[in-house]
Structure 1
């Protein structure tokens, strides 16, 4: 049998080949009526996309990967949603990879090993060192999400990120502005990740500017930015004598803050009456928690757009491109967990 082509589907549906391509890839800018007509033609003709044929024709498969540590984390799930939508505008299909923070898996994806159909990768590294990634950044189209682990004057790979130092400084200053003076930091991780280091830097900077002293006893170590680590760390803080206990807790992720809220509830401490609480991520879970969580919200759509545009440019480039650092905006979302003002959700 002769293979069904995009043109055959376009002729049957009475639309352009580009429109068929958009529908097949799930691009959002297609009307429901047109999408239904194209999909009916796809079903009638039995059309199936052929990435191998595309690679022979163009030298590219149109497939890229987004590799994140944990898809169960709302932040990464929400980010994946935005990356997929942005990639569709570039005629790219996104494969989602979960590394579980394994350094070997992160390096495998960063170099395209074992993924011959991939044109490039957007990677959020957790364990592999950025110096290791720097050695392979020129060999395969690669864009990194998240903080840089080397000097700020040195750029050895494309990075897309928010300013974590500024974000942590802003949310800590907000807690100080509420009159809180014993502020704990939950998120100093055992691995010394760049994210943890920079958020601790912003936290300490805000304390210093307010004339407050950093107390390492109020910065319990965590293994991961997870709910259970937030729970365990904050249980230890809640068990401190009343005079030593914090009156605010800044968590380095929303998932840590969700666990922290549970620990405070178990201890019979009110939020924010006894202890104010804040996080970073701007997750939907933060919005719908009770009380709603004060958080720093990165512009995830902007992060996705910057990452996909950088990757698409590298894929299309005939000559090596200079590396760049691209910073997306963020906003402080003040909610019930810090200021105590109840309000209806903006739905």
Structure 2
């Protein structure tokens, strides 16, 4: 089911790339304003979708509970009817939200000037369409081995067995769409059983806000992945003006070893981390530890790259805290703000980092 959903989403995205009306906007302020506008509009549409979906199910609930024509229906029949209506309404609602978000992502990509050949390339698992589909489905990144790095190397044999067992039932256990459907069905049905259809009127604003919050997170992640196409090489140039080929053995070791630790701790690779790995020299890093200054430069870059790689998971907190302790609170605040501004305001990196 997930594979079919991804294929459908990729087809929709590639079609949107070819047909969307947006053009590349070179002026940063104008581009940022346009990105903010279309991003906010998709959030509003998600709320409206929740409103329409909720009102449709509420209408059916009032009919089944209040209309004389439905008075002969048994409680079991009413429960089944509302279950089917809730699941179908929520499924169609979420498909609309994902479709709208992917079309918006295609428009954002055109505004940012990402070449169409990059957007339409679907052969590689780490191509842009796959990155955006994963963002739409709530998947943070890739768990397969890439560049000789296995994100799941530290979970052990038992953990790997458990992961494989869970993957057998991922549609029920881990698929974002189905989890949301179950949550919303549960909230709606429990309320109806308790105090009839009126509870849904009270619960409706919550589900509308839930739609809008989830869509906002999705759009922010998509924007980070799209902006990363141009921002990642600029970040590398800003952090390492000598170029990756000119890095000392100690600095290269600290950066590569630190990125490995990030990936192993998070247990996935974010697209912006993959972009950086694609830029690294082919030769393996040395085992030489860096100097104090080189470690600080590496930690600053790794923190910046981490800020571009989605929300921190609980597993990563200790790792990030070590980076922050080394850099100091003032420097951490500056780096985080610079990356946030670069992604969400398209502000160029200007402060010298060394």
TM-score of the superposed pair, with normalisation by structure 2 = 0.30
Greater share of strand:
1
TM-score of the superposed pair, with normalisation by structure 1 = 0.30
